[in-house]
Amino acid sequence: MGYKHTLTLCFALLTVQLFAQQNSIYNNHSFQPFDRYIYNSDARFHTSIKPYNMLEVNKIVSYDSLFLFSTNNKYTNYILNKDLFAYTNGDFNFSINPACNFEYSQDIDDTVNGWTNTRGLIIESDITKKVHLFTAFYETQSRFRDYRNDRVKELGQRTIPGQSRAKAFGSDNKADDYAFADAYISYNPDSVFGFQFGHGKHFIGDGYRSLLLSDNAMNYPYFKITTDVWNIKYVNMWSQQYYVDFPHAANSRYPKKWNVMHYLDWSVTKWLNIGIFETIIWQNEDSLGVYRGFEFNYLNPVIFLRPVEFSVGSPDNVLMGITGKLTLFKNHILYGQLAIDEFKFAEMKARNGWWGNKYALQAGYKTYDIAGIKHLDFQTEVNYVRPFMYSHFTYSQQYGHALQSMAHPRGSNFIESVNFLRYNYKRLFIEAKYLYLIHGQDSAGTNFGNNIFKLYNTRSQEYDNKTGQSAIKNIVQYKDITVSYMVHRPSNTCITAGLSSRNAMSDVLTKQQMFYFVALRSTLQNFYYDF
């Protein structure tokens, strides 16, 4: 075998994705290049399932046609528009692109600056247009000197939101060193079925937040089957997470748990979508250390999970929900979610604040091209989550992963309003955000239902539970404005500058923080610090 053929084979064996990749790598809420087209489409696109399938997106709008910077200079064209490395040979495509986040930040009340230093690679490939591979790796050192550092401390175990646990870095051990990896291999034999095995995140819903399944927590291994029939898209996913046990033995792995999820999205008409969601979380070992492993009763992809869970005498955690999207005049979208952890109709009817009526509600609206101004967009959303939602009576079965919620980053026991105004002109992006949050914080020794990783049988009271309840009422106002200019289209690498303000107020403490930052970053994933 010749040198060139050997090199090609080595590239093919790397864990890589599709040139016009299958899973969209552009998943950051601040960068939504496809949404105005797929929401405004007669193709009845299933917008609530993310990351988007780029094979489907490209039927509506080609990313290659967006943000192209026309130039006759081949060097400028290469820097701004082209992959760092690309190879095509018949049905085989391969590309490599850099990813980064070099950020300088400064809290206005601090004399020491913060910084982030992320270097990464994104490798993508497709073989015969049916096999798609992808891998990405990011190595990061950072020192947060603002409310992001407060969030790391709040999560505990030096957990970086949305990424992983970190180890101490620097001479004073106040910086963090951590990594982030993402990969999958998928097979699409035809237009109906898709199979994917990977390590990553998923998101269900049309909003900024998801109360059913969000990309808030760090990556996890999964196997997913997607079925497209008529106007229905059906997703089955089996995944594995871990939880932090108390106490945890030194130099030992964290215990595992399992998750099975079904989601069916039905495009009833061109302007109405309805989705049905269910998931079950179960522990790998019981409280006595008896191994259970994968539950084969949950392997059936076309069965309602709740009757099966009940029939095997299982104490597993079940979460169910519905989603809805109503599109009016092609660019006015009303959307919402209802998530139910558990409830009793009699207790609901009594309106007595029973702790076990655990549910969450979302209502939102977004529109594009306000007042005829092209690419001026607006979004507003309200999220309401009852106390003790997503929690369980065992540490292994809360709806979380590695100390982070699988749904809303705030956990439960809160009401939130989040609003966006976005504008895009060619490669220039401007976003203004305002968030208002009321949440009930758990206090020492008292569980008011905010921290989903506390056992719900440690609750403070049986009845008279109200959303936002706490010995100390907390109000958070978060304001942020960012301006970005895209310098490398394939990796969405932008020069970005921003100003963020967070005011946290309670009966005993008021904390006001403001910082500015400048960065060269690949705006791809979502990492949530805005709560």
What's residue 21's pLDDT? 57
Q: Which of 40, 406, 109 is nearest to 32 (CA)?
A: 40
Instruction: Supply the pLDDT for residue 300.
Output: 81
pLDDT of residue 460: 87
Distance, CA of 442 to CA of 455 (rounded, Å): 12
pLDDT band of 88, cuts 50, 70, 90: very high
**Residue in 463, 427, 437 with CA at minimum distance from that of residue 528:** 437
Give the SS3 label for residue 354: coil
How far apart CA 390 and CA 409 sit, in angstroms, is 12
> What pLDDT, in 10s, does the model give residues 106-158?
999 999 999 999 999 999 999 988 999 999 999 999 999 999 999 999 998 89
Residues 497-510 have a mean pLDDT of: 92
Is 268 strand, coil or helix? strand
- Half-sphere exposure of residue 436: CA atoms within 13 angstroms, side-chain side: 5
The CATH code for residues 3-522 is 2.40.160.130
Indicate the domain borders of the chain. 3-522
With H, G, I as helix, E, B as strand and everything else as coil, classify residue 456.
helix
Structure tokens at 261: 């999820």
Give the predicted TM-score (pTM) of the model: 0.93
Instruction: Tell me the average pLDDT of the chain.
Output: 90
- Whether residue 494 contacts residue 379, with contact meaning beta carbons closer than 8 Å, is answered with no
Task: Give the pLDDT band (50/70/90) at residue 9.
Answer: very low
Residue 420: pLDDT band (50, 70, 90) is very high
Q: What mean pLDDT is predicted for residues 261-269?
A: 96
The secondary structure element, H or E, covering residue 503 is strand 493-506
Q: CA separation (Å) from 46 to 35, 91, 274?
A: 11, 28, 10
SS3 477: strand
Give mean pLDDT, residues 247-263: 86
Catalogue the E-assigned strands of 78-174. 85-89, 92-107, 114-127, 131-143, 167-169
| pLDDT for the residue 171 | 85
pLDDT digits (tens, 9 = 90+) for 312-346: 556 788 899 999 999 999 899 999 999 999 888 88
Mean pLDDT calculated for residue range 70-92: 92
Task: Outline where DSSP puts E strands in 426-492.
Answer: 428-440, 473-488
Asked whether residue 7 carries a pLDDT value surpassing 70, the answer given is no
Is residue 56 classed as helix, strand or coil in its secondary structure? helix
Question: Distance between CA atoms of 55 and 129, rounded to whole angstroms?
Answer: 10
- Work out the pLDDT band at 517, boundaries 50, 70, 90: very high
State residue 306's pLDDT score: 66
Q: How far is the C-alpha of 348 from the C-alpha of 147, rounded, in Å? A: 38
Coarse DSSP helix, strand, coil percentages of the chain, rounded to the nearest 5 percent: 10, 45, 40
Q: Is the omega angle on the peptide bond into residue 51 within 30 degrees of 0, that is, cis?
A: yes
Query: Which contiguous run of DSSP H or E holds residue 311?
Result: helix 305-311
Average pLDDT over residues 223-251: 90
